[in-house]
Structure 1
Amino acid sequence: MPLEFAFELMMMLTSGCALLVSAWLFWRARRQRSMKALAGFGVMMALWCAGHVAVFYGWHTTGMALILANPLMPTFFLDFAIGFVNQGPARRSWLSRLARFRALLYVTAVLVSLGTLWLGGGSIIAFGPFEHYFVFRGSGWFNIGYTIFIGVLAHALLLWGFMRQQGNRRRSIAAMFAAGAWGLLLATSFIFPSLGLLWYPWPMLLLPSYVLLLVYGVVRYQMLEVNAWANRALLWILMTALLLGLMALFSAMAGQLGMQALAAVPQWQLWLYSVLLLMLALALYRPVSALVERLIYPGSRLDEQLLDTWLAQLRDTDSWHSLAREAEQLLARQMGQPVTVRLLTTAPRFEPGPGLELWCLHHKQDWQFRLKGFDDVTPGMRLTAEVFGSLLATRCGLLERSLQLAEAERKRVSEQHLVELGGLSAAMAHELRNPLNIISMATAGLEAERKAMIQDQLKRADRLIVDMLAYSGQLHIQPRAVPLLPLLHSLRPQFNWQDVQLELTLPENYQVFADPYRLQQVLTNLLDNALSFVRNQADGRIVLAAGTSAGELWLHNNGPAIPPDMQARLFRPFVSHRPGGSGLGLAIVQRIMEAHGGHIEYRNNAGWPVSFMLYFPEEPAS
């Protein structure tokens, strides 16, 4: 093979490889700017090699323009290095600022290329086997110097990233350095004729390997399919080398074995036939493998992307119901027919239905799956169900542990809250009951009517203490239909209204389904809380009104609005906006409402500065 033709063939092969790899990179990593820049590097290398081919065919102007555009190659690589390094722990603000000047780097590279082309930065000479070969002249040395400078800057940035990155990205940078050293060794021989050393550029014949090694070094730790492709490529290369060696050995021994006709066949023809046979086997491997898979496992189409999709969809579920529903949809979509999924924590006591069923059973400390009704399906569909069942069983175990941790944390927080509240309640009860006992003894000499009034209030105070103690435990209610107006009229004398106006806009027969004693406690706490804010206002008003729905009650007052930062924690214990308040009043009200199966809400959009909406269900809480 003529040496000039060998060089031309390698340039064309490098150009084709670079274009194919760049197209694949751009398609596979279209959302990663750094990979797009690497694809641009491959395109520029393809154009650079095409420039040499153009020179060989006498298209000197076009070829020189493409070769002198080589500053764009390291510029694309520098763009890639900036984006590749500026991630994770190595992310720096100065790299982000440098990234904003990408356009300036490209403009500079274009200006250097056009300037050296206009100033005649190269010429075409003939030496050795080459009739047309490009060499640098004059301003062309500035072109190659700028190219080397940008390349060194890009690799220095990668070196900086290597010292700060970890894991796969650090390994990728190390692989890039190895590929860069190989590329520098190959490209050095291209410069020799420009220096007057008319040597044949033997290393340039291996240039196609540089593109593949560089890209593989970058993405091998990022994309799994690249490693699979490299594994297949290495396998076929080794098989080709082994086959060529066996053919050479067989050709040498054919004469001794009595096969004179075979021994007379030129060795290169045997090699050519062997390579053609191997290429044919490579071309038929995929369709034959797919045909065999369809014959053995008809209907089975399992691949890595499908498994990743299944894992992602199952991982997004956060309850047993949603996990079973999602599993049914995924498996039915893959198999083309309905499949029932059952998640069972105990052994089932029922027989499977007529359709296809996948059971996930909790057995001792593990989850296992069983297939029901899959005896008559194809082997491919059964394989699909088995793979999916294994993934589902694993997800069941993870979800079980996640729910157990969440429940344990909820119980821990609840128990800690009750312990703290119980301790505070006990301390307050002790401090309050001592003065109440003294007041009770002091009423011994009073007249009967006044003594009875004081004793009633002492009993009420004692009930409030009991309720405060009960807040840390469980509330027991006995709901029934309670007329609201008579209860409110009985509560009115207990408060010091001063000039506050109480308006009851309730129907005469309005009633709620509640525990009378707990309902009295709710209304007492709310009215007392409202009075503490509106009692000193000249136009203080408190309004109790029926809502639009049954069991709905509104309490409005025109006191000062509650600050926004306190609204979100208004019903938490020990939070008080009231001077001298304990911070338990609204918290107790909320607990009583929830014990009834209802709720209380603070509203600031009802036309009043402060509004509370209470809802009592029509049926008793279960």
Structure 2
Amino acid sequence: MSEPTPKPPPTILVVDDNAAFLDNLNELLGDAGYAVRGASSCRAARACAREGFDVALVDLRLPDGDGTALAAELKEGAPDSEVVLLTGFATLETAVAAVRAGACAYLMKPCAPQELLLTLEQAMRQVRLHGEKRELARRAQMTEKLAAVGTMTAGLSHEIRNPLNAAALQLSVLERRVRKLPDPQQGPLLEPLLLVRDEIRRLDHILEDFLQFARPREFRPGSVDVPALLRRVVDLLSGQAEARKVALEKGPLDESLPPVVGEEERLRQVLINLCLNALEATPAGRKVTVSAGQEGERVWLTVDDEGPGIPQDVRDRIFEPFFTTKAQGSGLGLSIVHAIVTQHGGTLEVGSAPGGGARFILRLPVSR
């Protein structure tokens, strides 16, 4: 299994009808580590912008429209991106128009390579700030939902758990009595009884999710052996994988991986949850692969499935409390997993597996 795919380079959209200028910028920016897409008209720029970009370099004079108007349009369509206007004829009016269009910078053509690269780095800094603000807003929203869960927890614990336990106890007594009956009489009675028992267990699991999410345990970090952790999880879930007719496999595993900082029990919970989701999403006859490796001061772990994958719009919300695409469940499973990983000083991302299914990438700091 290959290592997690690194993040793609920043994308620069260059809009200019001068073919030689486009070629020069493509070479210069490519050597600087940017991915470059060129467009020679407003129409072509709009088509390229739909694929996404980080910074757009837009010439003021284009054959089918005004660059200032295009800049405003691009900025409106991608508010987290930035626009830099280029012109060979600078005036006070064009500078004012650039500001009004939402451009973060204004460059004269021809501009020195260092000046252009510095401007792009400043623009990328703004792009990263937009991303950080969005992430902070997302975390604030999750915190609000967590507070709401905490308020509900005390009442749920008393009002639901106690009668649920009483019902489970009486159901167990009833099941023992039914199993003492002759075999022909047991079948019609056991079927609805076992269905009720499974539903009580499901409710108990949902309640446990609420309790765990609202009242996380105190973090007591130690050193966790990653290869041993993966083997233990695969062994624990081998029976469930076999029942689903799905292969649960370990990818290439370096036994010399350094230990990570964390609690073995809670990291096992994280991997079990991710693997169970992967097994559920994978059709019979296919496989789920768990792998691990090292990049710098972090150890990465991946869980890859061969299911239908996760759409991009769902990926943006998948760790939100109460968000779920399943017909049943609390929508807290992945939120709990994400909270545990964050408490460990790690990160959790979702992407696409090499086989087209979903890939969850967990990164944890190495224990020193």
Q: Give the TM-score category using the shorter length.
A: 0.3 to 0.5
Question: Of Structure 1 and Structure 2, which has the larger fraction of its residues in helix?
Answer: 1
Q: TM-score, normalized by length of structure 2? A: 0.46
More strand by share: 2
TM-score, normalized by length of structure 1? 0.28
Bigger relative CO (Cα 8 Å, ≥ 6 apart): 2
In terms of Rg, which structure is larger?
A: 1
